[in-house]
Structure 1
């Protein structure tokens, strides 16, 4: 198989969705650098970077610039930014183990899903048509449903970051205090909590089904 020319490789790096991915990384770096000194600016930059996650996918389909590099760049950016925010929340609330557990679940489920997809010869970890679980199929098959879960999860984490005080406190106490302050905030917390909860269930199912795929691959290879 012939090696791709440097010009061809460069063109992939300069795809519009990949350029958006680079901008997302810069925004996240700036956001986390300022997260303690300017919470509002952090929230704006972080959420806009998250919004661009859907934007780059639209550009990829619009201009036929879908690439494996772009998909990996997109996923790595998502996982790292969420992991960093969860790590910060683990320092702001007690017990911090809650957020560290969510961090571990997020990374483990997506890593197993990516690896099992690779073993199955799939081009995307979102290809779950051969899976039997209806929720996993709905999550990856319905863009609006997936968007609701992802947006809900990220917005919930941003809200928790914004309402945290300087002293470590219980997550439940912080949420109860926030509910007393504003009916709009209460509604937002309720809606985002639903999306967050569904996403965590999907992560658990995804991790289990991906692990099963790896075991099945080993069984077939040993025959």
Structure 2
């Protein structure tokens, strides 16, 4: 892991991540523009997004203390999206972004407004990349780096500030998404068990 970190600090990592951002946006736009949207494409898009985020979080967990913060964020990201995708198929929906029937306004705003969702997603990844670039030594204290980067008054401070806001919204949406999707799965199981139960009907007494 240390060798990987040293290799990536030469800027290649940031370049590759930037290219992946551009390609992720372009392929989604092209799919909708030319009516090439598919279930496989939606699943593949989510899987590749989760993998790229996982790589960032695992690397950050190795160079920051406490590393468990980033591993917890990774667990939340995977769990919430897995449950959301699974609950989508249980409801017979085409896309996991179809949350029009949700009662949570933030959840609906996130998936209902592509620009808002794009800002939160990009802000989250930009924050992780910025934290990666701010690392000076192994075992940096996360809070110390955040405080110094925000208070120094440089352009990086503005970038971190804007990114933290979008990142916080995305984590909150992940929690809401995980809870909502888990409830759907539980209700699905309850309904299945209810349908399987045969209630005997007593026969009328003959006189």
Q: 1:34 to 1:91 in 2, by over 3 A?
A: closer
Query: Could you state the TM-score of these two structures normalised by the residue count of structure 2?
Result: 0.88
- Name the CA distance, whole Å, in 1 between partners of 2:181 and 2:118: 22
The answer for the alignment partner of 1:54 in structure 2 is 25
The answer for the alignment partner of 2:124 in structure 1 is 153
1:186 aligns with 2:176: no
The answer for the alignment partner of 1:23 in structure 2 is none
Q: CA RMSD in A?
A: 1.5
- Name the CA distance, whole Å, in 1 between partners of 2:16 and 2:153: 24
Equivalent residues of 2:65, 2:141 under 8 A apart: yes
Query: Could you state the TM-score of these two structures normalised by the residue count of structure 1?
Result: 0.82
Question: Superposition pairs for residues 73-92 of structure 1, below 5 Å?
Answer: 73-92=44-63
3-state SS of the aligned residue for 2:36? coil
Equivalent of 2:100 in 126, 129, 137: 129
Q: What are structure 2's unaligned runs of at least 5 residues?
A: 195-207
1:170 aligns with 2:141: yes
Question: Superposition pairs for residues 2-151 of structure 1, below 5 Å?
Answer: 35-39=5-9, 40-151=11-122
- When Rg is computed on C-alpha atoms for both structures, the one with the higher figure is 2
Moved over 3 A (4+): 179-182
Deviation at 1:161, TM superposition (A): 0.5
Aligned residue pairs: how many?
191
